[in-house]
Amino acid sequence: MPRSTSPDATAGESAGTSSSHFSAPRVSFWLGVAACAVLFGYGAWERRWIADDGLIVLRTVRNLLAGNGPVFNAGERVEVNTSAAWTYLIWFFSWISGVQTEYVVLTVALVLSVAAIPLAMLGTARLYRGGPGWARLRGSGLLLLPAGGLVYMALPPARDFATSGLEVSLTIFWVALLWYLAICWSQADRDPAPGRDRTRYWILTCSTAFVAGLSWLVRPEMAVVGGLVLIVMFAAPVGLKLRLALTAAAGLLPVGYQIFRMGYYGLPVPNTAVAKDASGSKWGQGFTYLLNLVEPYSLWLPVLALLIAMPLILLPARGARTPLTGGFRLPRGGITGLRDQLQRPAVIVAVMFLGGVIETLYWLRQGGDFMSGRVLLAPLFLLLLPVMVIPLRIPSRRPEDSTVRGIARLATGTAGAAVAAVLWVLVIGWALHATTFRGQPDGTAIGTTGIVDERAFYSLQTGHAHPLTADDYLDYPRMKSLQEILRTTPRGGVYLPSFDYDWWFIDPLPYPRPDDVPLRQTVFFTNLGMTGMNLPLDVRVWDQIGLAWPMASHTARLEDGRIGHDKEMFPDWAVAEAKAYPKRPALPPFIDPDWVNQSRVALTCPQIQQLQDSYAAPLTFDLFKRNLKLSLANMKLRIDRVPEYTLRMCRLDVPPPLTDDQKSMPKP
């Protein structure tokens, strides 16, 4: 079996090249690492910003720091952030540093993004170091050149989302870390001698399993990638004790958090998965989203070049075994023979690549996203892992090359190296072009596809080249006027955006206020991040999409809605649930008193009350247990936007239409 070596061992040191610290593979590799880190860091900083959706995370962090729990609105246990790991990571560094949360998330995101590229390159470089089971490029000079890393970092969306405050940076860092650890595990001796070597092997195995298990917390769909790695590790012949240990390491934290999630939030998945209906299917929009990333930058060109280059650069010397085979032999002996082949680098390469394919297909089926390129960055990163660096062999003449066969071998190797070098130069040229090319529209408007360059859009709308803080977003339309209106109307009510950017509709709470109507200001607006971060924590912020408001997230997905925004709950429900004044002229003109009345009755539906209790009732141990049992049913519940239809679904009587007197407050 393959033996492990030091983590910084790179290709070729035991393969006919010098073991010196200044060997060609080492020098070329570390120069490439340094160049990629510096260039990606500079490019990400030049495009630094924090997205409105990134500010959503920070509202939850503010509530955690204030002692309200991991919630977006105090008193409502709704998991608004898809990545639980990202939320708690930012909370931790905000807590220990005391620094403004916007600067914390900017720093953490930038560091993780920049670190992901070198870490992924280091994992790939291990594939090409000499050793049993992988390429021994004897008699050849070897350079390890950056390739896939250049493709990723050259894409403008990759640099945009390196500092956006979203979990993209954590996701690619997690992928890189899992890749590195899994490759180390695949090259380790699975039957080490007792003592220090065995302890190291156990630590490596359990660490790899722990990182793979975090997939569910990094992003739920990443469980596919982590799960594939865990299946390989579990099925490999590692022994019963180690198999139990790696199972515990992989499952303890995600299973524990899953129990907490189901009991605390009353759902088996983040509320965002319900709001965006992750089980839905929009293939046509998904391919539109894919082309939106590929076509403007001609992304197909470097991908095709790397696909062509791989068999050329990995063409083995005489008697060598290549990374494409990894010493893999067709198994004999049935299942046992197959299991003996699982702890191989070739298997890890195949598993991670398969994970990238599945993730890509998942997002195509889902319809992609409304932010250009965002959700395809992690799948692209996965697919590029095997070629983050590529080995370029420079064939050298050996004594036996005087034979006809030797001359043919040398000529073939030279031609292959020449073609591979040309293709690598093509990748470099493409990267220079993509770095400076503006592939997307200028962001002034959202096109018919619903996809937009989000950074450009908010830079233009706020007037800040680098919108980073919540204060920067006060220059977004409606924000300053909302702050002023909330200050001048302390009696509470529901605040709805008007057709004008300078004022808001207000439906006040009844006055005098009944005992069953809590004194609260409720803002109903799409942009949760900038709104939530610029308002006090005692102001409730709801949205018609349903990210923070379960009544909206449990509606049906609109077939022709804008992707990522294809749920649209009517504000009549918000007025009814907040128990604001249900009559004119207090009601805004676009809200129907009859619909408000029907919504109030529909809220008494047993299924809806069960849902509301799961996240809004005081949390007790009995409620926690009930939430565990009913979390799947809560997830499946769907509410019709039209209150009359919901009443019929719940088999409740539809109240008769209100009279004119009932629709209007009495005249003085």
Which distant-in-sequence residues (6+ apart) come within 8 Å of 585 by Cβ?
664, 665
Bridge partners, residue 142, by sequence: 393
- Above pLDDT 90, what percent of the chain? 60
Tokens of 457: 């859009």
Q: Smallest Cα–Cα separation from 599: which of 575, 619, 580, 621?
A: 575
CA–chain centroid gap for 113, Å, is 12
Residue 342 has pLDDT above 90, yes or no: no
pLDDT one-digit tens code per residue, 15-56: 333 344 556 677 888 999 999 999 999 999 999 999 999 999
Q: What is the mean pLDDT of the chain?
A: 85
Residue 328 has pLDDT above 80, yes or no: no
Residue 396 has pLDDT above 60, yes or no: no
Mean pLDDT of 58-76: 96
Mean pLDDT of 427-444: 74
Identity of the residue numbered 123: G
Q: What is the C-alpha separation between 65 and 67, in angstroms, rounded? A: 5
The pLDDT value given to residue 221: 93
Q: Which of 222-231, 238-247, 312-321 has the highest mean pLDDT?
A: 222-231
Query: Which has the higher per-residue pLDDT, 207 or 7?
Result: 207
CA dihedral 370, 373, 374, 377 (to 10 degrees): 160
Entry field: residues in the chain: 668
Q: Smallest Cα–Cα separation from 273: which of 331, 235, 325, 219?
A: 219
Q: What is the DSSP letter of 561?
A: S
The pLDDT value given to residue 334: 53
476, 462 contact by CB (below 8 A): yes
Lowest mean pLDDT among 296-305, 444-453, 540-549: 444-453
Identity of the residue numbered 83: S
Identity of the residue numbered 661: D
The pLDDT value given to residue 16: 36
Q: Smallest Cα–Cα separation from 522: which of 502, 494, 491, 500?
A: 494
The pLDDT value given to residue 440: 58
pLDDT one-digit tens code per residue, 122-142: 999 888 764 333 333 333 467
Mean pLDDT of 531-559: 93
Radius of gyration of the chain (CA): 29
Which distant-in-sequence residues (6+ apart) come within 8 Å of 271 by Cβ?
78, 79, 80, 265, 546, 547, 548, 550, 553
Query: Which has the higher per-residue pLDDT, 442 or 122?
Result: 122
Residue 303 has pLDDT above 90, yes or no: no
Residue 438 has pLDDT above 80, yes or no: no
Confidence of residue 586 (pLDDT cuts 50, 70, 90): confident
Q: What is the C-alpha separation between 477 and 462, in angstroms, rounded? A: 8
Whether omega before 512 lies within 30 degrees of 0, making that bond cis, reads yes
The pLDDT value given to residue 193: 74
Confidence of residue 324 (pLDDT cuts 50, 70, 90): very low
Q: Smallest Cα–Cα separation from 586: which of 515, 514, 516, 491?
A: 491
Identity of the residue numbered 432: L
Query: Which has the higher per-residue pLDDT, 562 or 345?
Result: 345
**Residue ranges of domains in the chain:** 45-321+336-396+404-436, 477-526+539-603+638-663
Q: What is the C-alpha separation between 301 and 324, in angstroms, rounded? A: 23
Distances (CA, A) of 472 to 310, 462, 466, 539: 47, 7, 9, 20
Confidence of residue 312 (pLDDT cuts 50, 70, 90): low
Q: CB 334: neighbour CB atoms within 10 A? A: 8
Q: What is the C-alpha separation between 317 and 319, in angstroms, rounded? A: 6
- Stated pTM of the model: 0.90
Distances (CA, A) of 250 to 43, 173, 181, 348: 35, 18, 14, 17
Q: Per-residue DSSP letters for 287-318?
A: HHHHHHHHHHHTTHHHHHHHHHHHHHHTPPPT
Distances (CA, A) of 598 to 482, 567, 603, 657: 29, 20, 9, 9
Confidence of residue 195 (pLDDT cuts 50, 70, 90): confident
Lowest mean pLDDT among 262-266, 303-307, 368-372, 384-388: 303-307
Q: Beginning with the edge strand found earlier in the chain, give each strand of the sheet holding 521-524 in spatial order.
A: 504-508, 493-497, 521-524, 540-542
Lowest mean pLDDT among 30-44, 140-154, 314-328, 535-549: 314-328
The pLDDT value given to residue 424: 81
The pLDDT value given to residue 563: 82
Tokens of 429: 């040229």
3-state secondary structure of 644: helix
Query: Which has the higher per-residue pLDDT, 560 or 439?
Result: 560
Q: What is the C-alpha separation between 653 and 74, in angstroms, rounded? A: 33
Percentages helix, strand, coil for the chain (3-state, rounded to 5) are 55, 5, 40
pLDDT one-digit tens code per residue, 470-482: 999 999 989 999 9
Q: How many helices (H) and strands (E) does the chain have?
A: 28, 6
The pLDDT value given to residue 445: 61
Distances (CA, A) of 423 to 32, 40, 152: 17, 22, 17
Confidence of residue 395 (pLDDT cuts 50, 70, 90): low
Mean pLDDT of 415-422: 69
3-state secondary structure of 116: helix
Which distant-in-sequence residues (6+ apart) come within 8 Å of 528 by Cβ?
52, 53, 55, 56, 59, 72, 80, 541, 543, 547, 548
SS (H, E, C) 63-86: HHHHCCCCCCECCECCCCCCCHHH
136, 22 contact by CB (below 8 A): no
Q: What is the C-alpha separation between 572 and 567, in angstroms, rounded? A: 15
Residue 580 has pLDDT above 60, yes or no: yes
Mean pLDDT of 159-178: 96
Lowest mean pLDDT among 92-96, 143-147, 223-227, 503-507: 143-147
